[in-house]
Amino acid sequence: MDLALRSLPFLWGGLLVTLHVSLLVVTFSLAAGVLLGVGIAYGPRWLYWPIRFYSDFFRGVPLLVLIFFVYYGLPAARINLTSFAAAVLALSAFKTAHVIEIVRGAIQSIPRGQTDAGKAIGLTFRQRFQYVVAPQAVRRFLPPWINAVVDTVKGSALVSLVGIVDLMLAIQQVIGRTYVPMPMYVLGALMYFAINYSLSLTSRRLEARFAYIRE
Amino acid sequence: MSDPSAPVPVVRIRGLRKSFGANRVLDAIDLDVARGEVVVVIGPSGSGKTTLLRCINLLEPYDDGSVQVDGVEVGFRAGADGTRRRRGERELTGIRADIGMVFQLFNLFPHLTARENVMLGLRKVRGLPEAEARGRADQWLTRVGLSDKLDSYPSQLSGGQQQRVGIARAVAMDPKVLLLDEITSALDPELVGEVLTVVQELARDGMTMVVVTHEMTFARDVGSRIVFMDGGRIQVEGTPRDVLAATTHERLRAFLARIELRHHETR
């Protein structure tokens, strides 16, 4: 117990790194994923196929392989990134592919009749998207997207493998010095859980807020 | 509004052709709808009646022929060299705003209240200020009997109420013609009446309408003219009395017999 307490500041530092990585990845993947997701849902062929390929490729490659590729592979092409930048880049590229699919799915799940009704009253394409499709798509986007965010936090533990002292590596280093694995792993698991559970709670509150009927 | 004494029909269709792949859905349709007229289109499913309706406001682009609403060609504009070009999205939206449509499955916007459903087009397409759009929305919703449902979401309304919102949303735009696409087909039988009553009142007020329906009583009582379609063609056309009673046309008689039978079964 005493040990756990004394290691807390160190673990706290690791936790902040985990949150930092996650926040960056979530932000980048959200921005890029929404843009490309709208592109794949509405775009012309020349836009569709590159995005399709990107999404299928990055969802098909193990995340760890991506991280190693960016970290060890890019320097061969004279692109030298810090381990932090490399990890964030790899995770973002990976997550973007998932966000693309969530956005595409959310948009395409809106019934055709909604677009027809928008056309019939004379809304332009942009207006139909802004006032009819997007507000409904956001509601369908949120639940799977929050799942993706939770996944990002968990997946960010892999950055410890390129030497970034995130929560995962901090835990392992404490164990390395103290030789008491179980309490440390339990403590670490609780910290991951605390982050992700509060995310889930936020998600539920958001869904309620965006429900069609507000009571 | 153009001169009502002028004989220009609100809707003028000539030689309209439309195919889905190898399947010809509309084959050389000619149809005029005069101002204030209620043209009822009947026919078996797959006869092309819904497609015909959707060509009038270009929810379906047509292959050949001409559809004019109030003298304006809907699907094409004349190019500089006299050839026809398909209209762009922006030109189309202006034309569509003047053509109202009510759908079989209502297609209300589920994230907006009844009032907001009606207001959307008034605000964003007609550019009315908030207060005026709200006033007009409330006025129409009251006319269709929903003054106590202004702030209800579609999911809180019965099918009949939703469809009346759908009608209010269309007529609030002050359209030159109103297209009704089997608007009672998805309703429970006891809710059909409340919707048709609203349509009947619109007809009495002189709204020009093209109505696709299987409600023969409505067709007889409200229709100025009945058009029977089969196989993508207009087979019979005339006053309700002529079309429904004196039928020498084989396929029309068979169709009416089937409708009649189904009608009795649901009683």
pLDDT surpassing 60 at residue A213:
no
Q: What is the pLDDT of residue B226?
A: 95
Q: A-chain residues within 8 Å CB-CB of B109?
A: 114, 117, 131-132, 136
CB atoms B96 and A122 under 8 Å: yes
Does any domain span residue A135?
A: yes
For chain A, the domain total comes to 1
pLDDT surpassing 60 at residue A84:
yes
Local confidence pLDDT in tens for the 267 residues of chain B: 445 555 689 999 999 999 998 899 999 999 999 999 999 999 998 899 999 999 999 999 999 999 999 988 998 887 777 778 888 888 889 899 999 999 999 999 999 999 999 999 999 999 999 999 999 999 999 999 999 999 999 999 999 999 999 999 999 999 999 999 999 999 999 999 999 999 999 999 999 999 999 999 899 999 999 999 999 999 999 999 888 886 788 889 889 888 877 666 554
Q: What is the pLDDT of residue A215?
A: 40
pLDDT surpassing 70 at residue A101:
yes
Q: What is the pLDDT of residue A212?
A: 67
Does any domain span residue A173?
A: yes
What would the two tokens of residue B244 be?
């429904």
pLDDT (tens digit per residue) in A46-75 = 999 999 999 999 999 999 999 999 998 888
Does any domain span residue A215?
A: no
Q: What is the pLDDT of residue B81?
A: 75
Does any domain span residue A133?
A: yes
Q: What is the pLDDT of residue A214?
A: 47
Top residue of B111, B112, B155, B167 to mutate, by most chain A CBs within 10 Å, is B111
Does any domain span residue A82?
A: yes
CB atoms A124 and B153 under 8 Å: no
d(CA A137, CA A61): 28
Does any domain span residue A36?
A: yes
CB B243 within 8 A of CB B226: yes
CB A207 within 8 A of CB A142: yes
Q: What is the average per-residue pLDDT within A86-97? A: 95
pLDDT surpassing 70 at residue A192:
yes
Between B65 and A5, where is the model more confident?
Answer: B65
Q: What is the average per-residue pLDDT within A160-187? A: 88
Considering only the beta carbons, identify the residue of B59, B96, B124 that sits closest to A131: B124
- Here the CATH number for the domain that contains residue A183 is 1.10.3720.10
Does any domain span residue A174?
A: yes
Q: What is the pLDDT of residue A2?
A: 73
Q: What is the pLDDT of residue B246?
A: 66
CB atoms B103 and A212 under 8 Å: no
Residue A3 Cα distances to A11, A167, A176, B5, B83, angstroms: 12, 17, 13, 96, 85
Q: What is the pLDDT of residue B164?
A: 96
| Distant-in-sequence, close-in-space partners of B201: CB < 8 Å, separation ≥ 6 | B143
d(CA B164, CA A93): 48
pLDDT surpassing 50 at residue A9:
yes
**Percent of chain A that is helix, strand, coil (3-state, to 5):** 85, 0, 15
Which domain covers residue A140, as residue numbers? 2-210
Considering only the beta carbons, identify the residue of A131, A135, A212 that sits closest to B155: A212
CB atoms A122 and B89 under 8 Å: no
